[in-house]
Structure 1
Amino acid sequence: MNQVHIRQTLASEAARCRALIRRGEHAGPTAGLAPGCVQANLMILPRPLADEFLLFCQRNPKPCPLLAVTEPGQYAVPAAGDGIDLRRDVPKYRVWRHGELVSEPGDLMDVWQDDLVSFLIGCSFSFEEALLADGIDVRHISQGVNVPMYRTSIPTAGAASLNGPLVVSMRPMKASDAIRAIQITSRFPSVHGAPVHLGDPAHIGIRDIGRPDYGDPVTIHKDEIPVFWACGVTPQAIIHTVKPAFSITHAPGHMLITDISNTSLASF
């Protein structure tokens, strides 16, 4: 199978999944959907805050690796996929006002504004495919739940009015698998890259590993250690801290599926 045919096949599957989401036939987390395709976190802000957030992403590339940025009011993203509509192609959105979550709609048709700028941010679901291919268990996938995510005591690099804590996602692994996971995920800086912490969660301010701030808890066996990656949900912690008048994100684990291939993001 040549590369053109592979890209066409991936794009077709991504479009099929987006169509299911748009019709309301898939409303849950997107982990495991459209294998081979990049999934993206979403941050949508009014134009006056967009420049600040762009600077924030540049200063915090681990949690916020940018895949695409739209013009104000634009909801199509041709670079990420043919026919993408950012107002309708995420299973669950979050609408925030003054830092408070006010709704989790299945589309944005009632709240969309012409000044909104959308940021597509790399997602760790992309490197999970490489972990699975190497025989490493990805616990939230094998248990059929949403990935556990935690606010930490690690500060982000602030930009103007934007600041707050780093959010991490966690996957438990045996030590030997954790070493291999570092090697594998280091190849994917556009989707968070290597872990930011291994071992004792208290060292990064996590008090109870069994109670994630976002997502679901997973089983951690006695011979395993928790491995933490920077997470694209970090902007939601920033919203909670800074409390902008209006903003929109994806619901954690409910991502935008793009036509971009995971392998195209590998740096080596």
Structure 2
Amino acid sequence: MPDTIRHADLIRLESAALRRQFRADAYRGHTAGLAPGRLQCNLAIMPAAHAADFEEFCALNPVPCPLAGRTATGDPTLPALGHDIDLRRDLPLYHVYRDGMLADRVPEISELWRDDMVGFAIGCSFTMESALMRAGFAMRHIERDVTVPMYRSAIETRPAGPFSGAVVVSMRPVHRDRIDEVRALSARYPMAHGAPLHVGDPAEIGIDIDKPDWGSAVPVEADELPVFWGCGVTPQVAMMTARLPLCISHAPGAMLVTDLDDGTHERNEQ
């Protein structure tokens, strides 16, 4: 169904109120720029039999996969990340993967949740965007109301069990004179992927900047450089590579909005 509420209408809502809108299936778009000051998270859900390997995968790849929390087996809640969070219904849109292939895009996953499921919340770069905007950095994808461009890079993750694959990166143009500043500021947010992984020539990390794998391309002006951060779509690539019979993620750009402050966070495990 089309969204019944616009992104602009959500800007002033607190995190819990946003989740209520998503739970009501009133909005299926991106969450960039929403709930400034709160940690946003990517989502990975899989059978418990694979949870230990996936947690090791996150530990081996902490920049693209900063683990903020995990559920108990069969429990869709994450009380350490927010009041009344229900991972089955509280994101705008989900991707369902079967045997490594995207099988469906759905607004809730209650019917797919099983007693052996484990959910992982992984930090997202949207969290640091509010800090960058406060410092005067433009977020072109927010200005254009599109999902941030994301690319499958030539950088490889460190494998764990069946999980492996490319590091996914997100891109934001930054003025050439402010590169050191953006490095220092984003490094303060390790749960939002921290400092950039690459600045400058996209070809050096195997990317055609005009052809994002997820999201929408945005222009890079003559006085800007493309800046690439680790991205929480990396676990989706790893789950696809693992070819599990069933696993579930957020739709790229459509995050879990938590109640946590957006500063430096230690891992919170349930």
TM-score (norm 1): 0.92
Q: Distance in 1 between matches of 2:162 and 2:241?
A: 10
Residues 1:235 and 2:235 aligned together: yes
Q: Answer with 117-126 or 232-241: which moved more.
A: 232-241
Structure 1 counterpart of 2:224: 224
Structure 2 counterpart of 1:98: 99
The residue matched to 2:16 in structure 1 has which SS?
A: helix
Higher helix share: 1
Pairwise CA distance, 1:240: 2.6
Q: Structure 2 counterpart of 1:216, which letter?
A: S
Q: Distance in 2 between matches of 1:160 and 1:216?
A: 32
Q: Distance in 2 between matches of 1:264 and 1:187?
A: 7
After the TM superposition, which residues 122-133 of structure 1 pair with which residues of structure 2 at under 5 Å, given as runs?
A: 122-133=123-134
Q: Distance in 2 between matches of 1:160 and 1:241?
A: 11
Cα displacement string for residues 62-81 of structure 1 (whole angstroms, at most 9, x for unaligned residues): 00001101111111111010
Cα displacement string for residues 223-257 of structure 1 (whole angstroms, at most 9, x for unaligned residues): 11100000000011112322111100000000001
Pairwise CA distance, 1:263: 3.0
After the TM superposition, which residues 70-85 of structure 1 pair with which residues of structure 2 at under 5 Å, given as runs?
A: 70-85=71-86
After the TM superposition, which residues 43-192 of structure 1 pair with which residues of structure 2 at under 5 Å, given as runs?
A: 43-192=44-193
Q: Distance in 2 between matches of 1:214 and 1:239?
A: 16
Q: Structure 2 counterpart of 1:238, which letter?
A: A
Q: Distance in 2 between matches of 1:202 and 1:89?
A: 37
Q: Structure 2 counterpart of 1:234, which letter?
A: T
Structure 2 counterpart of 1:253: 253
Pairwise CA distance, 1:140: 0.8
Q: Structure 1 counterpart of 2:102, which letter?
A: L
Residues 1:199 and 2:200 aligned together: yes
Q: Structure 2 counterpart of 1:232, which letter?
A: G
Percent of counterpart pairs with the same letter?
A: 47
Pairwise CA distance, 1:264: 5.2
Structure 1 counterpart of 2:5: none
Q: Distance in 2 between matches of 1:233 and 1:160?
A: 18
Cα displacement string for residues 165-222 of structure 1 (whole angstroms, at most 9, x for unaligned residues): 100000011112222110101111111000000001111011x211100111111111
The residue matched to 1:263 in structure 2 has which SS?
A: coil
The residue matched to 2:14 in structure 1 has which SS?
A: helix
Unaligned runs of 5+ residues in structure 1 are 1-11
After the TM superposition, which residues 17-28 of structure 1 pair with which residues of structure 2 at under 5 Å, given as runs?
A: 17-28=18-29
Q: Give RMSD over aligned pairs.
A: 1.2
Q: Distance in 1 between matches of 2:109 and 2:65?
A: 23
The answer to whether the 8 A contact 2:95-2:105 is kept is yes
Structure 2 counterpart of 1:35: 36
